[in-house]
Amino acid sequence: MPYMFKRKERRRRFAELHRQLAQALPSGTLLYLVAAPTDIDFIMRRALWGHLSPAEMRRALTGELQDPWVQHVQAYEPTFKAYAPYQRLFWLSLPVDAGLEGYAKGSAQQRFRNWLAGADSEAATTLEGWRETADTMARGLPRDFKPTPVTEAQQEWFWDQFCSLGAFNEPFPAASVPARGVFRRAKFHTRGGRRGESILKVTRPDNPEIKPSYQSVLTLFNAKKLRFPGSEIFKLIDHVDPALGRVNCAMRLDLRHVQDEKDQSTTTAKNIRDQVRQRGVAALNDDELKNQMRELREYNNLLSAEPGQKGMNVDFVFTAGADSLAKVRNLEQSLRNIMDRSKVTLRSFPGSQAGLIKIFAPGNEKQAGLDGMGHPTTPTKWSRFVPLISTGLGNSTGIPLLVNYSTLRREIALLDLQGASGRGHVGVILIGGSPGGGKSHCSKLIVIGLMKRRSRIHVVDPTDTREWEKGIGREPGVKVIDVAGGKVSMDLLRLLNPDVGGEVFVDHLMPLLGYPAESKEGDRLELLLEPASRDTKGIGSWNRLVEVLRREASTDADREMLDKFDVLSNRSYMRALTDESLEAPDISQLSGLVWNMAGIPLPTSTENDSEHLSSRISRRERAGQAIYGICAELSQQLFFNDSQSSDFIVLEEAEGYLNSPAGGKRAHKITREARRLNTGLLVISQNLINDCRKMGTEFVTQTILTRFDEDDVAKAHLERFMGITEAEYPDVVRRYIDDTSPPELNDNLEMSMDIGDFDIAMSDFGKTIPGREGECFFRDEFRRVGRGKLLAAPTAELAERLNTNPNEQKDNDRDDERNQQRGAA
């Protein structure tokens, strides 16, 4: 269940679901937390799903079909394999042979009577009765957990994974995979070795291709000082280094009626008092008996506080498995250290590992020798461990976006903006962070993925370096329009259909003329630009409109407006709107369109919002604002209208446009009505809170936050977009500020350094530490939040295209020169 980084109220609700689960389980239930390698082919098939028909998919996977998206996804295969992702399965084994209450009081006698009566456990009627019992048990579990029956092949996989933990890397089989019909043999060898070790060596005599597994067996000794929230100790098994091996956990849940538990407590208390009386003075100095009596009273108080719930006795066993003895020793120590930092003590019992490990073989748990190791508790107290936590992020299909870093158990997250409308959401994503954090690289990869998945893209590029042209300009069907160069017409009266052209013209040009959007002058222009009026008077361009205004000007207000039109007509920065000799671009058949806005100034949001400052906005800035809006309108009307897929507008560092009346209105409409408009939106900004004020973000769920350099800005963005507050998650907020894509600050420069090492150290100083690029927080379409690392370009050629940092490009050029010089030498 999604739990990570949720508010306390949500976490309490999830804990309550765990309590309901415990109440519904039969006594003797086994709960396993199992590490399962993820099938890389399955990740790639998910990314391709929905893009091709089933027949095309089969041809693509065999290499018969050459498709840009298929090739793009296949280029990620080495990256996926390098991360070695795996998932955490939650496996329930229910004692269906013991009836609906399981191994509760009286069930053993009933089973004995059945045996005396000659009941055949393999008879068809018996098996059918067990199936009915299993169905009834499953229906009684909280629906939020979505229990799914396992297949025979999956049970065989579970056996192999248990026997060869850390050495068996086959992924969890799909339900359609046929069973072998046999459990492969395993031999368990108890090792001697170091004092205090509890390690087994497991070999597979009939399967030499499976390496021997070395497994350390540990039990939970103490976890009594935990407070909720903060008691979710079972997620810690995914915080050990996966390069060392894997950790699994098993729990045996014995549930009893409250009165039975109280009767047992009374007997236990009597035994303790007898020991105290028999030992006399020696018992006064023995804290163990005092502690046992105190814990017994606390347990009785818990049972009395909630008379409706059951009593529980829970056994916890951990196995750390690896493919070598050295690795498993390091893995065990790492697990102990992580648990110890959370005030949890694990304990090993040398010599008992061969018995304890039997808890991982359902049906053999009674031979595990767990008597006396259980922890008396209640469903309420057990629920605060919240063991069934999901860390999943992203969509079931889409563009490879990031690696989930919420734990060290890596998972690949996909992004499906195109399918969001079909799920009742908007295809809008916000990407925020300071320069150098990776947001620009990520946004270009998203856009390339969208185009290869047959969406059409409109990009507004404000950069002087023309980085979007460099990044996506080589993609098939992409056109770059240099707006400031004055080489193409942006006259709405020439380009748009008369039914919409006049209305759009007024929306964007009235502020440029210095009039409010709602004004008498605006009404006058709207009437003049009605389709019938335009047809009658021949108003097909800016210049034709000016001629009509000059001919019909009869009042001072008309003449004042005409003067403003004349002034603008003679400005060089207005050429794209007024020069009829410029080419009218045909953009209807393109797959990508980049409007290069370098040299087009915009007013700030402060100037837009402040009445006394808005009067100081220059005509050039107002023209820039109008041009931004016109680009968006042209794309919406000419570019997107004929498309059958979801298409996207990309706005980078467009604060002035987003906070202008027309721009904010357009973006706000997309965030509310993107499903009907068939249009999505990507906003890339160094300050999303400021830039998206007029657009509004209350209906936008998908957000990526890379590094922010200012503490206050980082905290504000985490709280606003991720719901993570410093009050609830102080360590998370501090780590985000201090340890997200941190810079390389290596002060250990030495005079004796080799010239090559010195050169590298000097050039790397202050840049992001290699391998730490793209660290972020991500909130997905379903409001799940997690830490992640944005995926880099899958090929070196694409990475070079997307590297738009001019300083890094110079460094790369210098590196190439050095390599050439070394080669010549």
503-548 tens-digit pLDDT: 788 887 887 787 876 788 888 888 888 989 988 999 989 999 999 9
Range picked from 53-67, 186-200, 233-247, 634-648 for highest mean pLDDT: 233-247
9-49 tens-digit pLDDT: 889 999 999 999 999 999 999 999 999 999 999 999 899 98
Average pLDDT, the chain: 85
- 343 DSSP 8-state letter: T
Which stretches of 661-700 are DSSP H helices? 661-677, 688-691
Q: Which pLDDT does position 747 carry in this prediction?
A: 63
Please give the average per-residue pLDDT across 130-134, as a whole number.
89
Answer positive or negative: Cα dihedral of 441, 447, 450, 451: negative
Q: Which pLDDT does position 658 carry in this prediction?
A: 85
300-342 tens-digit pLDDT: 777 777 777 788 889 999 999 999 999 999 999 999 999 999 8
Please give the average per-residue pLDDT across 210-221, as a whole number.
93
Q: Where are the domains of the chain?
A: 8-38+85-257+310-383, 489-584
Whether residue 805 is predicted with pLDDT greater than 70 in this model: the reply is no
Range picked from 116-120, 323-327, 551-555 for highest mean pLDDT: 323-327
Say which residue the tokens 């998919």 belong to: 57
Please give the average per-residue pLDDT across 136-163, as a whole number.
94
Q: Which pLDDT does position 748 carry in this prediction?
A: 62
**What is the SS3 assignment for 571?**
coil
659-710 tens-digit pLDDT: 877 678 788 888 887 667 678 899 999 999 999 988 889 889 999 999 999 9
Q: Are 309 and 301 in contact, with CB atoms under 8 Å apart?
A: no
Binned at pLDDT 50, 70 and 90, residue 445 comes out as very high
Whether residue 750 is predicted with pLDDT greater than 50 in this model: the reply is yes
What percentage of residues in the chain have a pLDDT greater than 70?
Answer: 88
Q: Which pLDDT does position 323 carry in this prediction?
A: 95
**CA pair distance 382, 224, nearest whole angstrom:** 11
- Output the pTM of the full model: 0.87
Whether residue 819 is predicted with pLDDT greater than 50 in this model: the reply is no
Whether residue 343 is predicted with pLDDT greater than 80 in this model: the reply is yes
Least confident residue range of 245-249, 286-290, 779-783, 811-815: 811-815
Please give the average per-residue pLDDT across 367-395, as a whole number.
88
Whether residue 378 is predicted with pLDDT greater than 80 in this model: the reply is yes
Read out DSSP for 615-658? TT--HHHHHHHHHHHHHHHHIIIIISTT-SS-EEEEEES-HHHH
Please give the average per-residue pLDDT across 583-606, as a whole number.
79
Whether residue 271 is predicted with pLDDT greater than 90 in this model: the reply is no
Burial of 448 per CB tally in 10 Å (0-12, 13-18, 19+): buried
Least confident residue range of 309-323, 412-426, 799-813: 799-813
Which stretches of 718-805 are DSSP H helices? 730-738, 755-764, 796-802
Q: Which pLDDT does position 603 carry in this prediction?
A: 75
The DSSP element (H or E) to which 680 belongs, if any, is: strand 679-685
Least confident residue range of 336-345, 366-375, 714-723: 366-375
Whether residue 823 is predicted with pLDDT greater than 50 in this model: the reply is no
Whether residue 824 is predicted with pLDDT greater than 50 in this model: the reply is no
**What is the SS3 assignment for 32?**
strand
Whether residue 477 is predicted with pLDDT greater than 80 in this model: the reply is yes
Task: Give, in degrees to the nearest 5, the angle at Cα 654 between 649 and 658.
Answer: 80
Of residues 424 and 185, which shows the higher confidence score? 185
For the beta sheet containing 785-790, the strands, ordered from the edge strand earlier in sequence to the opposite edge, are 411-415, 399-404, 785-790, 775-779, 702-705, 428-432, 679-685, 647-652, 457-461, 592-596, 478-482
Q: Which pLDDT does position 486 carry in this prediction?
A: 72
What percentage of residues in the chain have a pLDDT greater than 90?
Answer: 43
Q: Which pLDDT does position 613 carry in this prediction?
A: 59
Least confident residue range of 516-525, 734-743, 754-763: 754-763
CB atoms within 10 A of CB 550: 13
Q: Which pLDDT does position 607 carry in this prediction?
A: 65
Q: Which pLDDT does position 414 carry in this prediction?
A: 98
Q: Which pLDDT does position 237 carry in this prediction?
A: 94
Binned at pLDDT 50, 70 and 90, residue 2 comes out as confident
Please give the average per-residue pLDDT across 745-772, as a whole number.
70
Phi/psi class of residue 363: alpha, beta or left (left: φ > 0; alpha: ψ in -120 to 50)?
left
Q: Which pLDDT does position 107 carry in this prediction?
A: 57
Q: Are 449 and 542 in contact, with CB atoms under 8 Å apart?
A: no
Residue type for position 76? Y
Q: Are 228 and 216 in contact, with CB atoms under 8 Å apart?
A: no
